[in-house]
Structure 1
Amino acid sequence: MLRRWIRWGGVAAAVLFLAGCQTVRTTQGGAVGVDRGQSMLVSAAEVEQASAQQYAQVIEAARKKGMLNRDRRMLTRVRGIANRLIPQTAAFRSDAPAWRWEVNVIESNELNAWCMAGGKIAIYRGLIDRLKLSDDEIAAVMGHEIAHALREHARERVSQAMVTNLGVSVLSAAVGLGQPGAELMGTVAKVSFELPNSRLHETEADSMGVELAARAGYDPRAAIGLWDKMSAQSNGAPPQWLSTHPSHASRKAELARDAARVMPIYEATRRR
């Protein structure tokens, strides 16, 4: 009898939970035309709060290890590029320029960079040094990562994870078990640092990142050369953090298409 009550209680909770699912459009399409509704089961505010807490922990851990912003010239360079990209986010969503942006460089040899919900950016020194990135290429990396935040891909992935774990998480919430805030932080951390993005998310971030770079006055074609460098460093395969992306040839073709699409924007910006 108890099992039956738990089973039907879980089903009822799941129905109520899914009823709260919203289909939202997080961004405008821009010149590259990214326009897809997203199903969300968790609020933007909750994911932003969890991301800010997780980001603070990562940054503090790097600081304690002496791995945070050690090269002042590199930090100034990276933040300067970010400061040109951030105002351009208004092309996709009007609220984004006013986010509480943070930009830091982590002293690590990893080929890595990320931007958490609400504009919390980290770029790893290894990515810049090992690939000998130009400013245009750094803009391509950062534009790509910023696009993930604009599209709220972390929120979407957290929502998908909640659906996957519905039988446990919904019932736990219904009977008052667990620590929802801590669990949300853990899920945000997992989708941000451990699990690669889906192909769809990577493709959207590529397209929007190219446009952000162009609007900021950086050559959008640099994204193509950047991918060549990443592929060469990874023996022909993408780094783990991009491992779900389509093939090398497919990605280059898509980047070339999008770069051509936004070249008039770049040319107009460069002439100002």
Structure 2
Amino acid sequence: MNVQDKIVVVTGGLSGLGAATVKLMRSLGASIAVFDLQLPKSASSSAVELQGQKYFKVDVSKTEDVAAAVEGVVAWSKETKKPIAAVVCCAGFLGPAKILSKSGKPLLLETFKKVVDISLTGTVDVIRQIVPYMSTQPADPDGSRGVVITVSSAAAFDGQEGQVSYSAAKGALASLTLPLARDLSRWGIRAVCIAPGMFDTGMVEGMPDKARESLNKTLEFPARAGRPEEFAQMVKSVVENGMLNGTVIRLDGAARMPSRL
């Protein structure tokens, strides 16, 4: 699918993997709708258009925020006569905590729920609210009406200590990929999941130096963290390659996470 003169929705689009995706999709001629907890500093309302991009202040764990933003995107699509080509769900939350702490305290259920609400439920909510509109769009000559891209993690497969909540949410995103693709196939909408390993984003930058050094030792080739633009390149490949559907793509340079750092 070609995204030129079409709309691409990116959640978590102001930083990290989402920001890199926004930059690359814009260079391909797409109009971008960014969902994020924050807005550009120059924005003064919950939704603003700047330089051909629409920004919506959205907490994806709040369904009313998602509904308002999706309504705004649909209105923008109708106004500009640009269909929604892709939805890229990068919003997530790490929330590290062990099921039982060193002092014997159990994982707070509120912590677990926050991770799941943002990383899993929020992703599903964005998808379920936007695909009804995508399904009514005119199809491309090959019958395609768009693609939904979710973001899992290496933690879905190699979860470390303290990642019960995060691995549960990201593992669920990986698991729902095939049924999601099957549910949407009759409307010509694809579903693909990307599972990145360690990338140079805010989550990794916040690690202590000792933890980063230990994690670097687990890398194969290339022996470095991934660059956000490399994630964006994978998004581009997924969007453009119609045979990529119903699958989870590990983007981790063959690295496998150890049980602890």
**Shorter-chain TM-score category?**
under 0.3
The structure whose residues are more often helix, as a share, is 1
Give TM-score, length-normalised by structure 2: 0.25
